[in-house]
Amino acid sequence: MNIDTVTKHNKTINTNIKTKKIAVIGLGYVGLPLAVEFGKQFQTIGFDINQSRVDELNNGKDSTLEVEDDLLQAVLKKDIEEQGLYITTNSSVIENCDVYIVTVPTPTDKYHRPILTPLYKASETVAKVLKKGDIVIYESTVYPGVTEDECVPVLEKHSGLKFNTDFFCGYSPERINPGDKKHTVTKILKVTSGSTPEIAEIVDQLYRSIITAGTFKASSIKVAEAAKVIENSQRDINIAFVNELSKIFNLLEIDTHEVLEAAGTKWNFLPFKPGLVGGHCIGVDPYYLAQKAQEVGYHPEIILAGRRLNDTMGKYVAGEIVKLMVKKDIKVKGANVLMLGITFKENCPDIRNTKAIDVYNELLTYNINVEVLDPWASKAEVAHEYGIEVYNEVPKDKKFDAIILTVAHNEFKEMAIDTLQAANSVLYDVKGFFDKKQVDARL
């Protein structure tokens, strides 16, 4: 039975997007901004298994800082039947929805293998309330084939319904850039797709109703999945290239940032800079693509080479700092070092897969005392995730033998760095953030 038959005779598909009731599964950096935007036009339910997160949001606060509190408060509703956003941990509340958007994380394990458990669990939750005619849309970053080969069987098993006859799927990869207040969810063009041409059109119209930047309808779910995973793989490889250049130019005693500035005067030179490559996307997505490639018998050389290089940059930075300390006759063992920044990027509280922790851990192997200052990071989250204490304010009456800028938070521009430096000390700049004359070296 094709979708036209289902639509015309059994009337299981509601093609009028204006009447859709939407559930967003997972209210983190991706799900919350999306749920807020849908809540402005649709009856929307935000579901998350984290009770403290739901309580926080229902109090009109977002600790991720992706949605301003006044915007969240404006769209929040206590009545589930009203247009707006109703937030809950009760999965039975979402049973009257007909569009389910899954925005749970897709991390990797310590061996860099994809962890699909959050997707499986979210799919089970949706399957238990799935009805004929419903559409399940996935936004989580995956390798090509996960939606139809991994998630759909879970939906079928736990719902008793048949894919593309009773229920349908779509895929629209998230493009959230944490901490970016310019490129917010509605201002980034959205790739969409569906399990049939008709469903693809419904999914596209649904997103088009909230995405002011517009949409791009991919030819299939697999194409949309592949498009997402190569976006960040491409960035990862380019950053790996300039990280390698940084290592070469350091040996040649040439300033990498000055080289990039000069090369950047050519119109088609790509503006990538060296740095620590972490986070929930660039530092993870290439492994998803590599996993799928290996499953079909191809060993991806460039993708994995880029990952290997970027994954070693924390150790490299720590080594460079120790070398500078030795050159300045600063005793390494027992030295006091201040690391500026622990989040995975600037002006953002997100600590997921941060590579700043690699610098920290490597310095510890030299028996160095390392303290961390980050005005954006949550003390509780850092302690829970990495087992270390972080300061949100400048330590008083302390002098450091070395200071490392790992994350370019705006607040660090206003700091009087010299007041924290010992008479003989090292200042190392990973991001090219400070004036070149101010630092001993930069990546």
Which residues are bridge partners to 404 per DSSP?
339, 428
- In the chain the first and final C-alpha atoms are separated, in Å, by 60
Q: Is 348 one of the annotated active-site residues of the chain? A: no
CA–CA gap between residue 344 and residue 280 (Å, rounded):
9
CA–CA gap between residue 181 and residue 1 (Å, rounded):
46
Please state the length of the chain: 443
Q: Which residue has the tokens 């997007």?
A: 17
Residue 329, phi-psi category: left (phi > 0), alpha (psi -120 to 50), beta (remainder):
left
Residue 25: CB partners within 8 Å, gap ≥ 6? 31, 47, 48, 94, 100, 101, 102, 103, 104, 122, 125, 126
Retrieve residue 230's tokens. Answer: 């190569």
Of these residues, 97, 169, 281, 348, which one is catalytic? 281
Which sign does the torsion angle of CA 34, 40, 42, 45 carry?
Answer: positive
Task: Please work out, in degrees rounded to the nearest 5, the angle formed at the alpha carbon of residue 282 by the alpha carbons of 178 and 63.
Answer: 25
CA–CA gap between residue 432 and residue 443 (Å, rounded):
7
Are the C-beta atoms of residues 339 and 359 closer than 8 Å to each other? yes
Q: Which residues are catalytic?
A: 281
